Amino acid sequence: MPRCCFCPQAKDCSKNLQIRVVKCLLFVNGCRRKLCYTVVKAESRMEAKVKIAKKFTGERDEMATVLYIKANAKPDHLSRTMRIANAFVEKYQELHPEDEIITLDLYKEKIGFLQEEQVLKHLEPPAAGSQDPVLQYAYQFRDADKYIIAAPFWNLSYPAILKAYIDYITVVGVTFKYTSEGAAGLLENKKAVYFVTRGGNYSTPPFSEFELGERYLRTILGFMGITDFTTFAADDMDRSATDVEAVIADYIDKAAQFAAEF
């Protein structure tokens, strides 16, 4: 049975780790580890108990908001990309039930290209138009903690509707800013994952040079400060030798494993 790793007086216990850690803090006056001492000094005894227990059990202090961005004109069940992405979302929700997942289907939203009047709204002072139907996408994107993007591989990139959406959310003062040294992202300490299926192999040379979708997403999100970016790209899906269902099953399994750490 596991032993409390920071208290020499704690005994082995068959109960869950969170209960054991709390009991350890209740019945042991001193603690030799710097971590415990620092936390107890900084916070009340009860707050310290909860925080340290969460640290050792992997429980988080607050829920996360996850924005699931879908950019596919086909029904989900007919899309290889969406089958993998949806399986990931389901597994993530199972593992993190406290988190809120907001699904944004760009086709159902009827995202269009920015026109002159809409572009001018991007020049408004920050927060002036947070409820505006144009700027609301930028504020929604800003307020999320994690991003799941699912889009098929169209003509070496992704559907144009996803680029149109990016134009909506790339707003100075909301997702990035200008400083005396140039542009700087405002969305640091966030993470994103991108799901895509491709007909050929665009992950390795020579055709990787033609791939423009993943490279642009990684670049524009990095511009906003999101540098924790992971891609799940299932290649060769249109080759006659590919067992498509086997590949999908394999990527669903890989995505499920990734859901635990995302």
User: Could you tell me the end-to-end alpha-carbon distance of the chain, in angstroms, rounded to an integer?
Assistant: 28
Query: Are residues 243 and 118 part of one domain?
Result: yes
9-19: per-residue pLDDT in tens?
A: 444 443 333 33
29-44: per-residue pLDDT in tens?
A: 344 333 332 333 333 4
pLDDT for the residue numbered 128: 61
- Is a pLDDT exceeding 90 seen at residue 2? no
pLDDT for the residue numbered 242: 97
Query: Are residues 85 and 2 part of one domain?
Result: no
56-96: per-residue pLDDT in tens?
A: 444 555 799 999 999 999 999 999 999 999 999 999 999 99
| Placement of tokens 């423009």 in the chain | 212
pLDDT for the residue numbered 127: 61
Quick one: DSSP state of residue 53? H
Query: Are residues 155 and 122 part of one domain?
Result: yes
Query: Are residues 218 and 155 part of one domain?
Result: yes
122-160: per-residue pLDDT in tens?
A: 877 666 666 788 899 999 999 999 999 999 999 999 999
Query: Are residues 120 and 5 part of one domain?
Result: no
Cα dihedral 159, 160, 161, 165, rounded to 10, equals 120
189-244: per-residue pLDDT in tens?
A: 999 999 999 999 999 999 999 999 999 999 999 999 999 999 999 999 999 999 99
Angle at 141 between CA 132 and CA 82, to 5 degrees: 115
Of 34, 61, 88, the position where a domain reaches its end is 61
pLDDT for the residue numbered 223: 98
State how far the Cα of 206 lies from the Cα of 191, in Å rounded to an integer: 29
Query: Are residues 203 and 121 part of one domain?
Result: yes
Choose among 179, 90, 98, 165: nearest CA to 135: 165
Q: Tokens in use for 46?
A: 């009860």
CATH of the domain at 221: 3.40.50.360
Question: Which residue segment(s) compose the domain that 41 sits in?
Answer: 1-61
pLDDT band for position 26 (cuts 50, 70, 90): very low
For 102-109, what is the mean pLDDT?
Answer: 98
Query: Are residues 76 and 1 part of one domain?
Result: no
Query: Are residues 42 and 74 part of one domain?
Result: no
Indicate the average pLDDT of the chain. 82
pLDDT for the residue numbered 158: 98
pLDDT for the residue numbered 104: 98
pLDDT for the residue numbered 125: 67
- Tally of domains within the chain: 2
pTM for the full predicted model: 0.76
Query: Are residues 87 and 26 part of one domain?
Result: no
Query: Are residues 129 and 38 part of one domain?
Result: no
Choose among 78, 96, 94, 114: nearest CA to 197: 78
pLDDT for the residue numbered 133: 84
Of 35, 61, 87, the position where a domain reaches its end is 61
Cα dihedral 188, 143, 230, 219, rounded to 10, equals -60
State how far the Cα of 24 lies from the Cα of 31, in Å rounded to an integer: 10
Query: Are residues 153 and 80 part of one domain?
Result: yes
